[in-house]
Structure 1
Amino acid sequence: MSNGIVIEARRNAFGPGIEALRGMPSSVIGDVMGRLVGTTGLHPVNRSPVTVCGNAFTVSVRAGDNLLIHKALELLQPGDVLVIDGEGDVSRALVGEIMMSVARWRGATGFVVDGAIRDVEAFEQQQFPCWARGINLRGPYKDGPGTINRPISIGGMLVNPGDIIVGDSDGLVAVTPQEALTVAKKAGDKVAQEQATIQSILNGSYSAPWVDVLLQQKKA
């Protein structure tokens, strides 16, 4: 560590969990994990629907400064999702078209930025998934400090290096590789239950007796 810059060794976390979680709705994953995970305030910048499912490569930077993000780009591996804690600041963009192009070239599958980005049309044209807190044309500083591959918090959610990030139009969730298969099984079961509920609505057989049960319990 020097000058407030910390770069930790890469933690390899690839495994079957990614494929098991791929395509699962972020909201359903959040539900089966006790509704205690998931981002707030981060939204897709893409106009067309995008999804992502890959290992988190984490970076934290000072508000408005992207020096360590440039370093992180050199370390990305195929399938990574670059997850950036920018302190929630939206006064300056942390990434744009050039950095996105580098990430795509290295095989990254998306950006998650708790901060601002720019060049949103390029993200749309390239269909490169990106979630951010805001958009700003102003460029960033390049002074540091920052960290790479350490636990961070984005949008109110803890993300550890190597966590599996699942994102869609509703938001993002982080799942540890150790939990992934269990979470995927629960999420698959819940998706099936919800599809059955929707079918019952369409065929006119829907009922919700649990509502009155809960109301009675609340009165007790």
Structure 2
Amino acid sequence: MTPGFRVGASRPSVNLELVARYQNIPVACISDSIHRLSAGGSRLRPMGTSRMVGPAFVVRTAPGDNLMVHKALDIAPAGAVLVVDAGGDLTNAILGERMVRIAAARGLAGIIVNGAIRDYDILRIHPLPVFAAGVTHRGPYKNGPGEINYPIALDGMVIESGDLIAADEDGIVCIAYRDADEVCEAAERKARHEAENAPEQEDRGWIDKALHDLGCAMDTEYSLPHFRS
């Protein structure tokens, strides 16, 4: 098959039991559990409903063109998160209300577009989560090329079909298929620890220890500033 214009075979995917475990874990806890190394970029923001978890179904398309995105809608499995890399270009919208309605009818868990969307007035109240980099009224072309089920990278975060995608108001994160079980256990521990330990009651001694270990010079008589009333 010609690179750049092709539909690849399905890939192994995270199972539904694991997806369900990720449902209630904040994305920040997942991110902390992978050493804060990967993120989809701060440009990708929720257009309305934000929380989504599911296996990725990956599409790369030419900027401003949605022919391969339409094909992906026809073959993406129920429960998947459609992840579209349109190069981050905001000149033309990749999708709008009509395609979101198709995605919802097919049972997709959400859509991520590294590009623009339109019909924002509808998408911001639609129950299907949609993330995008921007909004424009200018519609897409349908000429190709593009690829389905081949790796993409958003802000350096590599995503392959079958990987775990989680998103909330803080943004999106991808966990590689092979790492999803291990990361889930670590993220669950992180979320449980935060739920059981109130921040205002924690021991703050670690701050001075870290400053000391890093060689920070501090006057031994330093104190909080005094303000006149």
Structure 2 counterpart of 1:214: 210
Give the C-alpha shift of residue 183 in structure 1: 1.1
Q: Deviations over 1:58-113 (max 9, x none)?
A: 00011111111011111011101000001010111001111111111111110001
Within a 5 Å distance, the mapping from 1:51-200 to structure 2 comes to: 51-198=51-198
Pair 1:206–1:179, CA change in 2 (3 A): same
- Report the counterpart of residue 28 of structure 2 in structure 1: 27
Moved more, 158-167 or 6-15: 6-15
Query: Take 1:67 and 1:27, find their aligned partners in 2: how far apart are those partners?
Result: 34
In the superposition, relative to structure 1, how do residues 190 and 86 fare at CA in structure 2: closer, same or farther (>3 Å)?
A: same
SS at match of 2:197: helix
- Please name the residue that 1:17 is paired with: 18
Give SS of 2:69's match: helix
Aligned AA for 1:210?
W
Question: Is the CA contact 1:18–1:180 (under 8 Å) kept in the aligned structure 2?
Answer: no
Report the counterpart of residue 219 of structure 2 in structure 1.
Answer: none
Aligned length: 214
Deviation at 1:176, TM superposition (A): 2.1
The normalised TM-score by structure 1 is 0.91
1:158-195 residue CA offsets vs partner (Å, 9 max, x unmatched): 10111010000000111123322221111111112222
In structure 1, stretches of 5+ residues that fail to align are: none
Q: Would you say the 8 A contact 2:29–2:187 is kept in 1?
A: yes
In structure 1, how many angstroms separate the alpha carbons of the residues matched to 2:20 and 2:4? 37
Counterparts of 2:181 and 2:3 in 1: how far apart (Å)? 40
Which 4+ residue blocks in structure 1 deviate beyond 6 angstroms? none
In structure 2, what is the equivalent of residue 42 of structure 1? Answer: 44
Q: TM-score, normalised by structure 2?
A: 0.88
Over the aligned positions, Cα root-mean-square deviation in angstroms equals 1.6
Structure label with greater radius of gyration: 2
Question: SS of 2:11's equivalent?
Answer: coil
For residue 126 of structure 1, report the CA deviation from its aligned partner.
2.4
CA distance in 2, matches of 1:71, 1:185: 35
- Report the secondary structure of 1:165's partner residue: strand
User: Mind listing any 5+ residue stretches in structure 2 that lack a counterpart?
Assistant: 217-229
**Deviation (angstroms), 1:125:** 3.0
Cα contact 1:91–1:138 (8 A) shared by 2: yes
| In 1, Cα distance between equivalents of 2:104 and 2:195 | 35
Supply the distance in 2 between the matched residues of 1:63 and 1:9 (Cα, whole angstroms).
Answer: 23
